[in-house]
Structure 1
Amino acid sequence: MMAGGSVLRALLLHVLIFGWYVFTLRENCGLDFKGRHPGVRTYGGRWKYLTFLNLVMQTVFFGFCLFTDLVLAVLPSKNTRSGVPLFLIKVRDGFFTVLAFPVGTFVFISFWALYTIDRELVYPKYLDELIPIWLNHAMHTVILPLVLIQMYIQHHRHPSRLNGILGLALFASLYLAWVLWVHHVSGHWVYPIMARLSPGGLVLFLGASSLSMAPLYLLGEKLNRTIWSQTGNQKKKK
């Protein structure tokens, strides 16, 4: 349960972050590629890219956070112990710990790691002429500080470790199945790196990418515990 000042602070930050994501999503969908971006105009459109799926997910998550803040601001604080407010908090915490943090962090790490090795593997140079630099960073860079801000301003209860990792594994499996289906239907791989790999290399790449999600879930668990144990100690000192 949060004090009134904490609720209002979270509400203000969520208004700003949700507004940022709505703006970013609108700008992304409003890009006019005029056939110059073959991936967007092929089967699955933007919805086959994890970056875009994550952008939508972060927008929905912070919109839900804003809605939850409004409910908590209106209802008496004692009512957060049960009923609708408690349900909303549980959904918010599960959404953040199982999906928003690990997937957002994965998009940041995987994109910039491949970009550093060889940008043509994930973000060919011709995209610089189609996608503004600020929008590229909005989709691949800003996501990390925003989920860290969320972790700092609100405590999130993790589900059991098994349930959390299984939920994340389900998401990874569904996305992997979607990527394979897109290739089956269209004959094109979602990301350039996949077209360059041998069948064995592709299996290793997809397997390693999926398995790397679990350590990110554990990282979120550790960061959350560290931040809020320190916050609790500071409050005790005061």
Structure 2
Amino acid sequence: MALALRGQRAVAILHFLCFLWAVFALTQNLGVPKPVRKEQDNTYGGPWKHLTFLNQVLQTILYSLCVLMDAVALCIPSQEKCVSCLLRPIRDFIFSAYVFPVGLFVAVAFWGLYAYDRELVYPRELDDINPSWLNHSMHTTILPLLFIELVICTHKYPHRLKGVLGLFFFAATYVSWIIWVYHTSGIWAYPVLEVLSPNGMVVFFFVSFSIMVTFYFAGEQLTKWLWAKRKKVT
């Protein structure tokens, strides 16, 4: 019992630290003064049209749920079952359908395009505007947060069709949003979209979604493999 409690406390501490970092990164991104923001951030939609920012919001929501569940389990154990039944399905769906595949895609796609031609995703002029640590907080440190959550907490994945449809709804909503932003302001959220033809854009979005679905399946299989192996050891 004492060992289980210590493990529960350790998980709660890790969740709280991840939550603090997610909130810090999010508020720092919002706190960059408008006069020094890149042109796209000063237009319609602000940072909300960037997938990196939306992913940070999703991670913050996820860890806020984790912290709340941990706090109830440690401080009000009599209410743990009730709160868990209410919040666990939401937490697990957000992680499985959104946070893991989208977060992994953000990191892989950003640094992949950056290595190929950084002007397509993060022009050199931004080096004089955004501090490098802020860039890494949105595109690099999201990876360890993903895998920390994968390792310390088991998540029940939804039915595969439900999970993929949830991811598709998110992706379709985001694509519709950035197209609307372009229609309204005349500026694409990412420079790479400026150099693509309409057909090229369709292919780009299709490939991007296919990669996200692949990452969804990867998260599902990693969860099954990791936690099945732990159950055997236990």
Q: TM-score normalised by the shorter chain: which range applies?
A: over 0.9
**How far is 1:74 from its partner?**
2.7
Q: Give yes or no for contact 1:61–1:92 (8 Å, CA) kept in 2.
A: yes
Partner of 2:128: 129
**How far is 1:144 from its partner?**
0.8
Partner of 1:24: 25
Partner of 2:155: 156
Partner of 1:13: 14
State yes or no: 1:59 paired with 2:55. Answer: no
Q: 1:40 is paired with a residue of what secondary structure?
A: helix
Aligned length in residues: 232
CA distance in 2, matches of 1:84, 1:138: 31
CA distance in 1, matches of 2:198, 2:102: 25
Matches within 5 A, 1:35-50: 37-50=38-51
CA distance in 1, matches of 2:28, 2:182: 27
Q: Give yes or no for contact 2:36–2:129 (8 Å, CA) kept in 1.
A: no
CA distance in 2, matches of 1:30, 1:10: 30
TM-score, length-scaled by structure 2: 0.94
- List alignment gaps of at least 5 residues for structure 1: none
CA distance in 2, matches of 1:50, 1:169: 14
CA distance in 2, matches of 1:174, 1:165: 14
Q: Give yes or no for contact 1:14–1:66 (8 Å, CA) kept in 2.
A: yes
Partner of 2:4: 3
Moved over 4 A (4+): none
Partner of 1:213: 212
Q: Which deviates more, 25-34 or 155-164? A: 25-34
TM-score, length-scaled by structure 1: 0.92
What is the identity, as a one-letter code, of the residue corresponding to 1:186? Answer: S
RMSD across aligned positions (CA): 1.6
Q: 2:42 is paired with a residue of what secondary structure?
A: coil
**How far is 1:33 from its partner?**
4.5
CA distance in 2, matches of 1:9, 1:73: 11
Higher helix share: 2
Q: Which deviates more, 6-15 or 106-115? A: 6-15
Q: Which deviates more, 56-65 or 24-33? A: 24-33
Partner of 1:223: 222
Q: 1:3 is paired with a residue of what secondary structure?
A: helix
Partner of 1:167: 166
Q: 2:33 is paired with a residue of what secondary structure?
A: coil
Q: Give yes or no for contact 1:17–1:146 (8 Å, CA) kept in 2.
A: yes
Q: Give yes or no for contact 2:121–2:191 (8 Å, CA) kept in 1.
A: yes
- List alignment gaps of at least 5 residues for structure 2: none
What is the identity, as a one-letter code, of the residue corresponding to 1:44? Answer: G
CA distance in 2, matches of 1:93, 1:156: 5
Post-superposition Cα deviations, 1:189-223, rounded to whole Å, max 9, x if no partner, equal 11101110112111111121122211111000011
Post-superposition Cα deviations, 1:57-114, rounded to whole Å, max 9, x if no partner, equal 111211111011111223437x65x533222222211111111111111111110111
Post-superposition Cα deviations, 1:137-182, rounded to whole Å, max 9, x if no partner, equal 1100110111100010011000000101101110001001001111
CA distance in 1, matches of 2:5, 2:76: 11
**How far is 1:55 from its partner?**
1.0
CA distance in 1, matches of 2:23, 2:103: 16
What is the identity, as a one-letter code, of the residue corresponding to 1:216? Answer: F
Q: Give yes or no for contact 2:40–2:188 (8 Å, CA) kept in 1.
A: no
CA distance in 2, matches of 1:186, 1:61: 31
Alpha carbons of 1:69 and 1:198: their partners in 2 closer, same or farther (altered >3 Å)?
same
What is the identity, as a one-letter code, of the residue corresponding to 2:9? Answer: L
Q: Give yes or no for contact 1:35–1:41 (8 Å, CA) kept in 2.
A: no
